[in-house]
Amino acid sequence: MPRTGACPRPGWIGVTNPQPGGHLPWASLQGEICLANNAPLATIDQARIAVIGLGYVGLPLAVEFGKRFPTVGFDIDAARVAELNAHHDHTREVTADGLREATLLTCASDASSLAGCNVFIVTVPTPIDDYKRPDLRPLESASRTVGGAISRGGIVIYESTVYPGATEEVCIPIVERESKLAFNRDFYAGYSPERINPGDPQHRLETIMKVTSGSTPEAAEFVNGLYGQIIKAGTHKASSIRVAEAAKVIENIQRDVNIALINELALIFHRLDIDTHEVLEAAGTKWNFLPFRPGLVGGHCIGVDPYYLTHKAQQIGYHADMILAGRRINDGMGSHVARRVVKLMRQRNQDMTRSRVLILGLAFKENCPDLRNTRVIDIVRELRSYNAHVDVHDPWVNAERARDEYGVELIADPAVGHYDAVVLAVAHDEFVAMGAERIRSLGAPGAILFDVKRALPRASVDGCL
């Protein structure tokens, strides 16, 4: 019969193996555990939650938890906290009424507000750097914040998209160092990847099934039960944190690779003078044909997440050919659009050095103010490389953010009859409602109209993907 003993090190349970050799990992044990030394988790009804990062992911989560549990929404951006305390969300993910309904939620930018919390949920961005490598600095900073606030019996749950292993290899050691607590003895961890779809009014946080996981069986059960309080669609408890991390990152890789295939087909069909959308419509009559469409692939997920897995793959000596090929194709589509516009303009003898081009839309997707990793900027930069003067109009996007992020000065009211080419880059409802005739009126006689999103009738435009 195994006997209890002191926990030898984090990640191991203090059960002495009767055979010579020491201790067994928790996953292989069915005997007694050292309850005297392991800090117990709180019960779910005792949860006092802190959500670290109040962006597109963190805010809806904080609001839902703030309807049921004492919740602190923490963000280092004091201006963001101020607007939320005034019941305004510039991302348009949560309404003023929604913020008011979260009566147990308080938002703060002072780390002292985290005192007394026993559940810390990290929802900060995980971008890439200029060399397409994971930039873990926001995640590392958030982990330091958690480490300064967590106490015995606490649990930290990460939602940010990472490569398999990042939570336990990068984040947890930081929390341990800052807190002076031992992992899986004094505090615990979980991973429950975000599945937010910005600008989507139908697929909301509570209607999307949640993948959950934990660093011990008890932690996994706690994480699963906690999210079960707010997720109506149900939960799926993964066997480990690494499985949950991997599941998240491949969700977006699958979409990225499929869109890359369709984008490559669009490049081929253009050279064959075949309408890509007609081909897709015909192929789509088969029940198992996947309904992907060509286009720009931006945003914080699909255009970024693949590089997290390929980075990890390279660390273990594997070159992810298909994933990286898809990334190269998708990252090149903005420049491809610009070159096609230039070719159409030159066919009408337009002088590029004197030309004016209007881009309609800068956000990475329709009916959303999110500018993160928008590939519309590739169209703008490529056209400017031909010395064209480029104006950008987007009623959804904050002008100051466009200036700060990309150096683009948005125009509020495009002049009628002013442009040599108009590019419909993002299919905001406002643009689609204008119709081809009104959009064409922004151009001078003989102007080019290019429809990236195929939102207008094919016969009414000069080019499309």
For 53, 137, 262, 394, 408, the CA distances from 397, given in Å and listed in that order, are 21, 26, 28, 6, 11
Q: In this structure, how many other beta carbons lie within 10 angstroms of the beta carbon of residue 373?
A: 18
Across the strands, what pairs with 107?
Answer: 73
Cα 353 to Cα 191: distance, rounded to the nearest angstrom: 53
Asked if 448 and 345 touch (Cβ cutoff 8 Å), the reply is yes
- Cβ–Cβ under 8 Å, residues 266 and 294: yes
The question of whether 301 is a catalytic residue gets the answer yes
HSE-CB for 74 with a 13 A CA cutoff: 25
CA 431 to chain centre: 25
Q: Report whether 287 contacts 325 (CB < 8 A).
A: no
Q: How far is residue 248 CA from its own chain's centroid?
A: 10
The pairing of strands 49-52 and 119-122 is parallel
Token look-up 């009408």 returns 348
The strand ranges marked E within 404-442 are: 419-424
The alpha carbon of 222 is separated from its chain's Cα centroid by a whole number of angstroms, namely: 25
Q: Which two tokens stand for residue 153?
A: 């019996």
Task: Report which DSSP code applies to 300.
Answer: T
DSSP secondary structure, 69-135, as one string? S-EEEE-S-HHHHHHHHTT--TTSSS-HHHHHH-TTEEEES-GGGGTT--EEEE-----B-TTS-B-
DSSP symbol at 206: G
Give the pair of three-digit tokens for residue 70.
């004492």
Q: Which helix (H) or strand (E) holds 457?
A: none
| Cα–Cα dist 7/19, whole Å | 17
Which among 7, 34, 117, 301 is annotated as catalytic? 301
Which residues, in sequence order, are CB contacts of 385 under 8 Å at separation 6+?
Answer: none
H runs (alpha helix) in 168-272: 172-179, 217-228, 241-271
The residue written with tokens 């959303």 in the block is: 368
Angstrom distance (rounded) from CA 301 to CA 253: 9
**How large is the greatest C-alpha to C-alpha distance in the chain, in angstroms?**
90
Catalytic residues: 301
